[in-house]
Structures are given as C-alpha cells and as structure tokens.
Amino acid sequence: MIFCDAAAVVWRSLLLAGLLALAGCAEPVSYPRQVAFTELPGWAGDRVEAALPAFRASCAVLARMPEDRPLGGAGELALRAGNFTQACTAAARLPQADTGAARDFFERHFSVLAVGQDVLTGYYEPELRGSPTPSATYATPLHGRPPELVEVDLGAFVPDLAGRRTAGQVRDGRLLPLPSRAEILAGALDGRGLELVWVDSPVDAFFLQIQGSGRVRMPDGAVLRLGYAAQNGHPYHAIGRSLVEIGALAREDVSMQSIRAWLAAATPAEAAALMNRNPSYVFFRPLPGLAADTGPLGALGAPLTPGRSLAVDRRQTPLGAPVWVAGRDPAGAPLRRLAVAQDTGGAIRGAARADLFTGWGEAAAERAGRMRDPAALFVLLPK
C-alpha cells in the first residue's frame, strides 16, 4: 500500500518499523500510540464534514444515556457517555457543509491514537423477498429473540474476560447453550410463534444474519425493516474459511460473491451443510418507522450512515468515537476518510479490525462483498 502525500511518510515508517521488527532489526511498534492530526494519511484531503451527521446521530443517543455508561474500549481507549458531552455540544453549533470548520472542530476537541493495522471489510443492508405467512416459495423463517435467551457479560464474573459476552438459557439453575444454527433450522424453535417473516432463500437469510440488519419486501410491496436483536451465543465461523480448507476456493479469492457462487452451484443439501458449519444464529426485531433513505440501527442505537459508519470490536474501540481509516477500496484507490464507530460484528475482533457500512441496494452489496484490504486505524478520543 503506497500513499503519495507527506503525512503518509509517517504511516509508511510505522509499517516499515513493524516489518523490520519482525526481521529482528528494530524495536516493535507499540500500539496504541499518540500521533498528531498532521500525521494522518490524507487528513487534509477528506471532506470530514461528511462524518458530522453520523457523529451527531451518535450524540443524540449518548445524550439519553447516563454519563457513566461504558461505551467499550480498553485501557486509555475506555470511554463513557459523559466523555463526549463537550464535543457533542460543540458539534451541534457547527455550520453545515463547512469542511474547514469541521476539520477545526475535530482537531480542537479530539486527540488521536494510532491503534494498528488489520483488515478492513465492508457490510451493507440487504433486501430480501418475504411473506408474513409460510408457503412453498417462502419457506425459510427469520426468528425474533426467544424469551428465555439470557445475555451474559463474562467480565462481570472473571476480570480477564472483560468485554467478552455470551448467551444461553437457564435451566434447573444452570446456564446452558441455546440451539445451534443446524438445530434451529431442523425445527428446535418451531411452534413457538417466534417467526417474524418467511423468505424465499435460505442463502439470503444466511447473509442477512451476517450483515445483522436488512429489508424484507412483501408481495404487496410493503417493506419490513429488521434489526439485530440477539445472537445464540455460539461462536461465529466464517464459511469462506471452510471453502479454503476443502480446496474449493483459494484464500485470495474469498469474497461474498465467490461464496454465493459456490452455494448457488451446490445442491441444497451441500449448501445447507456448509452454512451449518457456522453454528452462530442471529435473531431479529422489527424496526418500524425507519424511512427508506435511512440506514439501519447499529449497536450504539444510532442509524448508520453509508460510507461513514464503522463496525468495530467494542472490547478495543469505544462506540461513538470518530475513527480515521487509511486503506484502499476494492478498486485499488486510496480510501482515507473519517468514520464513526457505531456498530459491532461477530467477525470483528481486534483493535484495528473494522467493517465499513456501504449502504443498501445492489451497488452497496457489490462494494461490500469485495472489500477486504489492509488498513490502518486511528481512534479520535475526546479531550
């Protein structure tokens, strides 16, 4: 990855230092480490005011929280809702579409921590075809959250597990696992009225669960918006990894498009067996009242903004924080922009791992499915 502006020299030096350290030639680069705004690759070139709607949407959610509500993050990146009060107040007074004022705002109210380099992927809001009643065409259910599902913050019991969560069900005074994906699809939840809607494709339902939210278009044209409600507590397994393991795909060829192509060419039994390798199963909730031009709600509770909302590992990065992303897009062009940490994901693990929300529709799906490139992340922390 090569950047041409002067600020990128610092970024390249960090990367070179890391490579030299692996070769035993230099001290390892430590993260997180404080850097100046002038050291952010491409900082002067982004229309940072385009991130303000996402930041203000987060502020609206944070304003309803107690000031001591934890937002995630570890060590010096651990933040609470009250940490954003002054920045949110100042953001509300900013003029619209003023790049200079927006850039000055972020430089005045935030400091920057480089948190490392990892893979940047993309996600989107898919649209499925569905029906409120099952039929031969609409045979795959999407479920609401079972009432017995209990979410557990493991860090409340074992400090070493801070930030880790699981889910299960209590029986006879013991926390036991919920059914796996294969068990649910075999009927473990049938007959309980948990079905929100039935869709016409088990593959589309599978990818909806990976994305975490979506739109279901009914036969009469009505659209049901669905958001993440809970997960069954089983670990997420990437089926692209399974296709690499069995020799069906080369590692560099794995994308949403290539996985979908394999599933389309497989028999229904083969496709089901591959998808069932991922025991994780997501439950949804209806999101009435969202306008068609509004993104889904992220884990923070704010609507997501295409190109400016980011899913992060909240154990490492606090929700609500602006994040500078320096990488490349699927076409190979530099991708350097300010986004806001507003969501999480089952496959997003690590301080510098992130997932960029690309929007909804076919173009967003195409872009998200091919986005898998190295990127450096810089978290902006309120002063």
Nearest to 181 by CA among 239, 108, 243: 239
Q: Mean pLDDT of all residues in the chain?
A: 91
Cβ atoms of 296 and 213 closer than 8 Å: yes
139: Cβ contacts below 8 Å, ≥ 6 apart = 198, 200
Q: What is the mean pLDDT of residues 188-212?
A: 96
Instruction: Give mean pLDDT, residues 192-196.
Output: 97
Query: Taking the alpha carbons of 45, 18, 160, 168 in that order, is the dihedral positive or negative?
Result: positive
Query: Which pLDDT score, from 0 to 100, does residue 15 have?
Result: 44
The residues of the chain that CATH labels 2.40.40.10 are: 8-124+300-382
State how far the Cα of 185 lies from the Cα of 144, in Å rounded to an integer.
14
Of 347, 343, 358, 357, nearest in space to 312 by CA: 343
Q: How far is CA 109 from CA 37, 150, 361, in A?
A: 12, 39, 35
Is the confidence at residue 219, as pLDDT, over 70? Answer: yes
* Strand spans (E) along 10-84: 33-35, 70-72, 79-80
Which tokens belong to 367?
């872009």
Q: Output the pTM of the full model.
A: 0.81
Would you say residue 366 has pLDDT above 70?
yes
SS3 334: strand
Output the pLDDT for position 26. 54
- Structure-block tokens of residue 274: 């591959």
What is the SS3 assignment for 200?
coil
Where exactly does CATH 2.40.240.50 map onto the chain?
Answer: 125-286
CATH class of the domain whose range is 125-286: mainly beta
Degrees, nearest 5: CA angle 270-345-116: 120
CATH topology of domain 8-124+300-382: Barwin-like endoglucanases (2.40.40)
Q: Which candidate, 115, 109, 96, places its Cα nearest to that of 11?
A: 115
Omega cis (within 30) before 296 = no
Please give the full DSSP string across 271-282, using - where no structure is assigned.
HHHHHTT----E
Give 221: exposed, middle or buried? Use CB within 10 Å, 0-12, 13-18, 19+: exposed
Distance CA 101, CA 108 (A): 10
What are 70's strand-pairing partners?
Answer: 80
pLDDT tens for each residue of 310-344:
999 999 999 999 999 999 988 889 999 999 999 99
Contact 204, 126 (CB under 8 A): yes
| Per-residue pLDDT tens digits for 39-51 | 999 999 999 999 9
What average pLDDT does the segment 59-80 reach? 96
Whether 7 contacts 40, CB under 8 Å:
yes
Instruction: Write down the pLDDT at residue 22.
Output: 38
Binned at pLDDT 50, 70 and 90, residue 165 comes out as: confident
